[in-house]
Amino acid sequence: MSLTLNQFLFLVITICIVVSVAFLVALIVQLRKTAKEGEEALVEIRDLIENLKETDKKVNARIDDLAPVLEATKTTVARISDIAWLLTAKVFKPSSKYWPYLFPMLRFGWRHMKKKGGKNVKR
């Protein structure tokens, strides 16, 4: 039984339509799954955004609480810097010319104290 050209073309078109419908059905099912997962993701994102807003409020409150501490720290550092400058400019730099004489005497005194202290402990 041979097929005529019209019957063959009708058969080919029918097979193409069946394949297309099967593909479209699979595509629609996948789209439904994707849409459902997208809705779930949107709900989760909304929850995360609410949590982020709460966290932002808490962080901003803590930052506002830290402003006085930062100011106090800034003034403390400025005063320590002034003290360090005063020590280097007024104490260490002028006395640096005496250090070569002072350190050997201090070392000699320290060794003498160690020897004296060591003998007292052994008795």
Residues 90 and 69 reside in one and the same domain: yes
Would you say 3 and 11 are in contact if contact means Cβ atoms under 8 Å apart?
yes
Looking at every residue in the chain, the average pLDDT score rounds to: 89
Residue 86: other Cβ atoms inside 10 A? 10
Residues 14 and 35 reside in one and the same domain: yes
How confident is the model at residue 42, as a pLDDT?
Answer: 96
How confident is the model at residue 123, as a pLDDT?
Answer: 46
Domain boundaries, position 52: 1-62
Q: What's the number of domains the chain is made of?
A: 2
How confident is the model at residue 14, as a pLDDT?
Answer: 97
The alpha-helical segments, DSSP class H, found in 87-98 are: 93-95
pLDDT tens string 2-43? 889 999 999 999 999 999 999 999 999 999 999 999 999 999
